[in-house]
Amino acid sequence: MNVVRKKILLEGEFGKEMGREISCQSLCIEIAYQKEIVYRIHIAEEKEESTSFDDFAQKVFGELAEYFAGQRKEFTFVYAFTGGTDFQNRVWQEIAKIPYGETISYSELAKRAGKPKACRGAARACHDNPLAFCVPCHRVIAKSGVLQGYGFGLPMKRALLNLEKL
């Protein structure tokens, strides 16, 4: 697979945590895509920021910037899951269905993915999510309502939920 990888530094502020802004001025996002299908989105180190983008990369980064600015609730670019177990793929598909501004519990996610007793497996699939932000695993919380685990840290999860007014 001839995968293209591009990085961009998104600047601005988003979310509020206890009345203070959470800055994403140093938030470097990397995407991996091929033939206008995104296979991976994640936060990367700020090194090696790409300097030129094709139309597709511009579209993806533009939509991500709009999301972080609170101007976008859904993404229009095409993405696909690669790797992962059958259960992880079902979990990721279910996560993608969680509407903007809503949350579900890990136990509900496991149930929707066909394994009601696999809460920990659902949590692990959230951690292994290859498509951060557009497959919004930050919208999955503990049954008690407590925020637990997030691959990019709880402050980022809190900021993303605050961005979505949760």
By annotation, the residues acting in catalysis are 137
State both tokens at 165: 């007014």
Name the packing angle between helices 119-127 and 86-96 (round to 10°). Answer: 80
From residue 124, how far is each of 30, 69, 75, 112, 130 by CA, in Å? 22, 29, 24, 15, 12
Q: How far apart are CA 34 and CA 164, in angstroms?
A: 30
Ordered alpha helix ranges (H), the chain: 55-68, 86-96, 106-112, 119-127, 154-163
CA angle 90, 33, 106 (to 5 degrees): 25
